[in-house]
Structure 1
Amino acid sequence: MSPDADIIVVGGGLAGAAAAIALARNDFKVIHLAPTAPPDRRTSALMMPSVNFMREACLIDDPAEFGHPLTAIRIIDATPRLIRAPETVFEAREAGLSAFGWNFSNAELLTRFQTAAPANGPDIRNIAVADYRRAGDLGEVTLADGSTLAAPLVVGADGKKSLLRTAAKIATREHHFAEAALVCDLELGRSIEGTSIEFHYPRGPFTLVPAGGSKANLVWIDEEPVLRRIQSEGPDALITAISQHSQHLFGAVSLSSPSFVFSLSTLTVETGGRDGLALVGESAHAFPPIGAQGLNLGLRDVADLIASVRAADRSRSDWGIEASQDYARRRAPDLARTGGMVDTLFRSLLAELLPSQIMRAGGLWALKLLPPLRRQAFALGMGVRD
């Protein structure tokens, strides 16, 4: 069997598109299997290291053309708990930055990625994958029409229920929460400008993310039956609930998009890659939308994937296996650190025990009062790596 490409990327989402296009820009022959999917109406808050990577990889040009800067984060403890945290504001200028990052429409971001594709590829094919196996030094994917394609390295960007990950027998750990997230776009009577505002309630945060002008993106985490009930009662009931949860601080609120509710879970893998398969994006990790880590982590996957592929000895027939093993080693510390951070943060927000409340409130007081600790928190949250 002879290879059809250097690399086959499976999955048409943002992580898959970023991987396929960035690899093609590095002069690899890439086939991108990207079945058409419904438009992704979500947004992503990408921290500056992610934005810098996208620019360096020529995936986007100026983020100001279609993104909205995140210049501050305001945290308001809205719980009725005995021990409450202080209201805290973190400003990007404290870290010597004009912004912590930028908020982007996922659909627009995907369009920008696709526009950035070089003339030499990737070869994009609108077809699903039905099976995957390893055949010696090549990874072989079977397509929905029964045909096959092979390459030394296969990249799985096919989501939480990754067929490639399952076929490769890479074990996962998954935890499902009772909470869900409601997302929608809002028009506010008073602009939040560049400040992301998080109201911390007993069952999770209610977050308004700047979306330009008087617009904001809402990410509301609560018990799933509660969110679905409010959503089912219609737009007026939803607007009333949003106004109450935002403590009526932003004037008249109106919906500028439909609302969506999705269940929350975490997913971690035993390894990010092996035997010529590399997992990126939600194939390798999934978290609740806390701390803006999802796509940020996916783009760090892509950055490390490029480094591993560049470092591989392509004169060897098994270079894809070498690259996947190197990729797994590079990703392991970041996946463990970020997964632990997000899980701890999310569970701390839900904790009802008094010692947990004291620790959380004390932690925010420390961040509020100690600049060195605050700078360390900025670096961790932004995904800055040594």
Structure 2
Amino acid sequence: MDEQSDVIVVGGGLAGIAAAVCLARAGLETLHLAPPSPPDRRTSALMMPSVDFLVAQGLISAPEDIGHALTAIRIIDATGRLIRAPETLFDSTEIGMNAFGWNFANTVLLEQFQKAAPTTGLTTVDGVVNTLRREDGLGVVTLSSGATYRAKLVVGADGKKSLIRAASAIGTHEHQFEEAALVCDLELSRPIGGTSVEFHYPHGPFTLVPAGGRKANLVWIDEEPVLRRVQAGGPEALIQALHQKSQRLFGNISLLSPSVVFPLSSLSVDVAGKDGVALVGEAAHAFPPIGAQGLNLGLRDVSDLVDAVTRSDRRQPDWAREASQTYAELRADDLARTGGFVDTLFRSLLTEMIPSQTARASGLWALKLLPPLRRKAFALGMGERKLL
């Protein structure tokens, strides 16, 4: 006989486990299908609304015990273009906060989320999902092992190539960029403190994110062949390129981890949920690592999903359809606003057109000189639901 739960969550990433734990803690019998995967060596810069959500849900306790505070953002226009933007510093004290957010290692977050799992109401199974179908008002999920599971609500947290999304016939809009991102961990001669430093180059930013002491996490966006060529040259060639890109502002640089290059793309969906299916994380949205929005947006997905489910009357046989519709409505504005913000920002960094250069430079001058506009920019970048 097939096993049945209230909810099935498919996907073993941070958004998936956060959804499974939060739904189980909300009182739903939850099955988490999480295929084994290699450790995620990346980091996530989470803004304070996301950190507050994690603390409120019991997913983490004290952020200072596991992360590094992000107290300022420094933007340096290194494009060499005809019209350049001013160097700009955003400080969290301007909005009365000690930090904009915290930078966490993804492996540490995963460990914390796993520790937060309730002892009852949540079952985790390692397995790869092969199919999803609806039958008698239930989502029926079949694994490659042949095992079958049923639930009223199915949550797809299975990434950009989501099987749950495809099986639910939810349309997508995708774009593949020519750029890629190179990430690795560094040690600097001169520490950056709590300041995230962004050098804006013609093909994307070169960003150093605080990782404690003299450590920093690098996210370097450039044309993919350029990054592959530098990486193929070995550690010495990479360090030489890093010195050039950082303009040696922070002295000598050494590598603390191997570098990884991954292509960049964007993805959006027509709806985030329907017919008893809800999409969270990269199953619902993906874009270049600009403005620290990826996991922040995914955690807002989880927050709204828990809200939609707890609003529904689970005594009714079709509560999951109602919850998925409510979830889609709750997510629509945020997904459109954040997706548009990141896409516009990223494309503005790449364009060579004089009018666009002028607009971008003028925008940064306005942010530099006009406090009310700066506060709105802070609110948007931090994912505030109501802009200041």
TM-score, normalization: structure 2? 0.99
Letter in 1 for 2:363: G
Q: Secondary structure at the match of 1:360?
A: helix
Per-residue CA deviations over 1:271-307 (Å, capped at 9, x if unaligned) read 0000000000000000100000000000000000000
In the alignment, the residues of structure 1 paired with residue 252 and residue 311 of structure 2 have an alpha-carbon distance, to the nearest angstrom, of: 55
Partner of 1:355: 355
Partner of 1:100: 100
Q: Does 1:307 align with 2:307?
A: yes
Matched pairs, number: 386
Q: Does 1:62 align with 2:62?
A: yes
Per-residue CA deviations over 1:298-332 (Å, capped at 9, x if unaligned) read 00000000000000111111111110010000000
Task: Say whether the 8 Å CA contact 1:187–1:214 is kept in structure 2.
Answer: yes
Per-residue CA deviations over 1:62-84 (Å, capped at 9, x if unaligned) read 00111000000000000110000
Q: Does 1:339 align with 2:364?
A: no
Q: Secondary structure at the match of 1:32?
A: strand
In the alignment, the residues of structure 1 paired with residue 225 and residue 177 of structure 2 have an alpha-carbon distance, to the nearest angstrom, of: 12
Gaps of 5+ in 2: none
Matches within 5 A, 1:270-285: 270-285=270-285
Partner of 2:293: 293
In the alignment, the residues of structure 2 paired with residue 247 and residue 85 of structure 1 have an alpha-carbon distance, to the nearest angstrom, of: 17
Partner of 1:51: 51
Letter in 2 for 1:133: R
Q: Secondary structure at the match of 2:4?
A: coil
Partner of 2:71: 71
Letter in 1 for 2:165: R
Partner of 2:195: 195
In the alignment, the residues of structure 1 paired with residue 383 and residue 76 of structure 2 have an alpha-carbon distance, to the nearest angstrom, of: 23
Per-residue CA deviations over 1:6-50 (Å, capped at 9, x if unaligned) read 100000000000000011111111000001100001100000000
Gaps of 5+ in 1: none
TM-score, normalization: structure 1? 0.99
Task: Say whether the 8 Å CA contact 1:3–1:152 is kept in structure 2.
Answer: no
Q: Does 1:38 align with 2:38?
A: yes
Partner of 2:85: 85
In the alignment, the residues of structure 1 paired with residue 7 and residue 353 of structure 2 have an alpha-carbon distance, to the nearest angstrom, of: 50
C-alpha deviation, 1:144, in angstroms: 1.1
**Following TM superposition, where does structure 1 have runs of at least 4 consecutive aligned residues deviating by more than 4 angstroms?**
none
Partner of 2:127: 127
Letter in 1 for 2:126: N
Partner of 2:216: 216
In the alignment, the residues of structure 2 paired with residue 201 and residue 2 of structure 1 have an alpha-carbon distance, to the nearest angstrom, of: 55
Q: Secondary structure at the match of 2:114?
A: helix
Letter in 2 for 1:74: R
Partner of 1:167: 167
Letter in 1 for 2:149: L
Letter in 1 for 2:220: W
In the alignment, the residues of structure 1 paired with residue 233 and residue 147 of structure 2 have an alpha-carbon distance, to the nearest angstrom, of: 48
In the alignment, the residues of structure 1 paired with residue 22 and residue 243 of structure 2 have an alpha-carbon distance, to the nearest angstrom, of: 42
Percentage identity across paired residues of the two chains: 67
Matches within 5 A, 1:357-376: 357-376=357-376
C-alpha deviation, 1:121, in angstroms: 3.7
Partner of 1:257: 257
In the alignment, the residues of structure 2 paired with residue 136 and residue 339 of structure 1 have an alpha-carbon distance, to the nearest angstrom, of: 36
C-alpha deviation, 1:2, in angstroms: 7.7
Letter in 1 for 2:374: R
In the alignment, the residues of structure 1 paired with residue 154 and residue 55 of structure 2 have an alpha-carbon distance, to the nearest angstrom, of: 25
RMSD: 0.9
Per-residue CA deviations over 1:329-385 (Å, capped at 9, x if unaligned) read 000000000000000000000010100000000000000000000000000000001
C-alpha deviation, 1:3, in angstroms: 6.5
Per-residue CA deviations over 1:215-260 (Å, capped at 9, x if unaligned) read 0000000000000000000000000000110000111100000000
In the alignment, the residues of structure 2 paired with residue 232 and residue 24 of structure 1 have an alpha-carbon distance, to the nearest angstrom, of: 45
Matches within 5 A, 1:318-337: 318-337=318-337
Letter in 1 for 2:249: L
In the alignment, the residues of structure 1 paired with residue 301 and residue 55 of structure 2 have an alpha-carbon distance, to the nearest angstrom, of: 16
